[in-house]
Structure 1
Amino acid sequence: MDSSSSPIDLDSNEQIINLEEIQTPRPPSTPNSSSCPLPKKRKENDPSIVWNHFTKVEDSPVDDAKAKCNYCGKMYACHSKRNETSTMQNHLPLCPKNPHKRESSDKYQKTLASEATPEEEVGESDSSMVRNLVTHKYSEEAVRSAIVEMVIIDELPFRIVEGQGFKKMVRLLEPQFKVPCRVTVVRDCMKLFASEKTKLKKLLKNEGIRISLTIDSWTSIQNLNYMCLTTHFLDSDWKLQKKIINFCLIPNHRGDTIGRYVESCLRDWDINKIFTVTVDNANSNDTAILYLRHFLTGNVLGGKYMHIRCCAHILNLVVNESLKECNDAITMVRNAVRYVRSSPAILDKFKECAKKEKIDCEQRFFLDVQT
């Protein structure tokens, strides 16, 4: 071989190799491809659950495919390659006309929350106590029920739900919740009352339960006559229960009037087994008990010992009669208290005198305590 031809051959071979490398590029290297498998694609015969609530629009173009909500008619892009179904999934729990809204929210809107113990619910929490994490889901019905219980338990006015501060607090806690008006809260309270009344009726119809009634009537400062009817009974677990079954206005405090209103209430609750009736030591209540004995049947010994007089009321009458014997001394003390309470300056001067005499007392002054 000639020495002059060898370099030409090498150069030509190198040029051929370089051209082949340019014309046929190598695939990019994927290091550790065996340890990082590609995600599995969903099978074509396994469609998303979203399509149970959405329908593809047939008239839409292929490049701009649309899907329509079966409930509210809202349109979403649903191109098979460019769009995903997550936007439609997020729409289902918020759709106002979705009848399966609760199921959708159960699937997509669960969060973690700490479970409060009964002690913490009443404000007696312990910082060292371990609290459990539970799944929490938003429910509009549960929030409305909690508002009704708050109004009833805390004896709040219905207009509290229309206050700006309450609405702001609810908006920060749960933006999805729409605060109801006070008319809706009243309606929810009546629904809760009807539900609890039905449960209590079933409980009182149990065989073997005898009820003791307490009747209390009084006149308010607006000169309105009220009557409260309370039941006391032992449940199946031998626990004493106390339930108010009636709180109403009455025209007067006559015995037959009280008897008729009590009879109407007992008929409404379907109660006919009465053990005792506790009332104040007033003459009108004697007439009311005589009226109820003719109405009630199945009483113990024919209702002979049904009438129970309130011992606290009797004691109060005794004390008031005895106080009349020292009326002059009580009048002097009452006048002194009235003078001290007449102005803030006199009250401050009285407290200074008490400090000089080293009398340590933080109690306030009251003119009369009837009970």
Structure 2
Amino acid sequence: MSGSSDESESNLALLSKDVEIVDKKGSTNSVIWKWFGYLKNDEAQIKTICKICRRFVKTKTGNTTNLFHHLKKHHPNDHTESMKMRADATPSTSRASSGAVPKQKSIVSSFVAITPYERCSKRSKDITRAVSNFLAKDMMPLSTVEQDGFRKLVKVLDSRYELPGRKYFSKTALPQLYEECRGKLENNLRNVRYFATTTDLWSSRTSEPYLSLTIHYIDEDWGLQSRCLQTAYFPDDHTAEILSAGLEDALASWGLSKDRQVCITTDNGANIVKAVSLKNWTRLQCFGHRLHLAIGKLSIY
């Protein structure tokens, strides 16, 4: 009780503005000392005093927790200001004022920083997948992964990643990406009640024949969707019967029933026109192809 009484009397004595409060001696790392100090005759600076309410605040040497707590409890506006000042203090300023020296890396951490990722690690898989997506999305040649410029770029982005060769992407990474994308699309097509298709025969620069098939449908949000299902190598004779069977096989490979196909759009080739009629499918003429033919005939005149 006597201790509490002495403290109360001291607090009452400090209410006088004539009592001088001085700042903390030496360098201070905390913004809290803007609001606290010591009596002038307290040479050892043992008893901390609040400059606002002029009360003694108990605190351990070097510990400012109670000082912040005092501001929060009795002077909330000043506490908010102290928190803002504390947040604005940059780490570099704090380190410079405290004289802290950056820690030297350990031998283990130094070796870890230069050790290549294991092929099965998550980081390695994520980067490989990103490269695969880049090759597929932008239709880049597989030789890209063996070019010096691209390999240097990847090494700068992450020095611990080892880029696989083109054989890995052609035999493993890209087929995996294809199967994943195909699985997602097949999943979406299960909910499609009716659809239309577009097909065309074309040849590559090396004169290899391909048969493409694209599906068009309206999704659950009434958005028109178009997806190229496949561009398949088609070395067989391009007779109406073979084309008809090829189109039916293509639909079946995607789990699509021909009964749900409302129409198919083709050019005016005699073989493809007959192939569609053999299946009794509703056929629409390709507007772009018809327009091209019309412009070609006009140019003659």
CA distance in 2, matches of 1:290, 1:254: 13
**Change beyond 3 A, Cα 1:90–1:278:** same
Q: Does the 8 Å CA contact 1:229/1:245 hold for their aligned counterparts?
A: yes
After superposition, residues 3-152 of structure 1 pair within 5 angstroms as 34-36=60-62, 139-152=123-136
The amino acid of 2:287's aligned partner reads C
The amino acid of 1:189's aligned partner reads L
**Change beyond 3 A, Cα 1:222–1:89:** closer
CA distance in 1, matches of 2:124, 2:206: 40
CA distance in 2, matches of 1:310, 1:285: 12
1:225 CA displacement? 2.0
**Change beyond 3 A, Cα 1:203–1:95:** same
**Change beyond 3 A, Cα 1:90–1:265:** farther
**Alignment match of 2:183 (pick from 198, 201, 207):** 198
1:279 CA displacement? 0.4
The amino acid of 2:181's aligned partner reads E
CA distance in 2, matches of 1:97, 1:161: 19
After superposition, residues 268-347 of structure 1 pair within 5 angstroms as 268-272=253-257, 273-293=260-280, 303=281, 306-325=282-301
May I ask how many residue pairs the two structures share in their alignment?
Answer: 199
Confirm whether residue 180 of structure 1 aligns to residue 164 of structure 2.
yes
The amino acid of 1:284's aligned partner reads N
Deviations 1:205-251 (A, max 9, x none): 11x53111001112345333222111111111111111111102223
CA distance in 1, matches of 2:206, 2:225: 32
1:195 CA displacement? 0.6
Match of 2:212, SS? strand
**Change beyond 3 A, Cα 1:145–1:226:** same
Aligned-residue CA RMSD (Å): 3.1
Confirm whether residue 260 of structure 1 aligns to residue 250 of structure 2.
no
Deviations 1:74-93 (A, max 9, x none): xxxxxxxxxxxx76688889
Q: Does the 8 Å CA contact 1:211/1:275 hold for their aligned counterparts?
A: yes
The amino acid of 1:256's aligned partner reads E
1:292 CA displacement? 3.1
The amino acid of 1:241's aligned partner reads Q
Q: Does the 8 Å CA contact 1:225/1:252 hold for their aligned counterparts?
A: no
Deviations 1:39-84 (A, max 9, x none): xxxxxxxxxxxxxxxxxxxxxxxxxxxxxxxxxxxxxxxxxxxxxx
CA distance in 2, matches of 1:180, 1:216: 36
Q: Does the 8 Å CA contact 1:277/1:308 hold for their aligned counterparts?
A: yes
Deviations 1:349-369 (A, max 9, x none): xxxxxxxxxxxxxxxxxxxxx
Confirm whether residue 248 of structure 1 aligns to residue 232 of structure 2.
yes
Q: Does the 8 Å CA contact 2:119/2:125 hold for their aligned counterparts?
A: no
Confirm whether residue 213 of structure 1 aligns to residue 197 of structure 2.
yes
The amino acid of 2:211's aligned partner reads M
Of structures 1 and 2, the one with the larger relative CO (CA 8 A, separation 6+) is: 2
**Alignment match of 1:232 (pick from 184, 194, 216):** 216
**Alignment match of 1:170 (pick from 133, 145, 154):** 154
**Change beyond 3 A, Cα 1:95–1:184:** closer
Q: Does the 8 Å CA contact 2:266/2:284 hold for their aligned counterparts?
A: yes
The amino acid of 1:286's aligned partner reads V
**Change beyond 3 A, Cα 1:157–1:245:** same
1:260 CA displacement? 1.6
**Change beyond 3 A, Cα 1:253–1:322:** farther
- TM value normalised by structure 1: 0.48
CA distance in 1, matches of 2:239, 2:227: 25
Q: Does the 8 Å CA contact 1:148/1:185 hold for their aligned counterparts?
A: yes
Q: Percent identity?
A: 22
CA distance in 2, matches of 1:98, 1:160: 20
CA distance in 1, matches of 2:288, 2:229: 22
Match of 1:270, SS? coil
For structure 1, list consecutive stretches of 5 or more residues without a partner in the other structure: 1-30, 38-85, 103-138, 294-302, 326-371
Runs of 4+ in 1 over 4 A off after TM superposition: 31-34, 86-99
Q: Does the 8 Å CA contact 1:217/1:253 hold for their aligned counterparts?
A: no
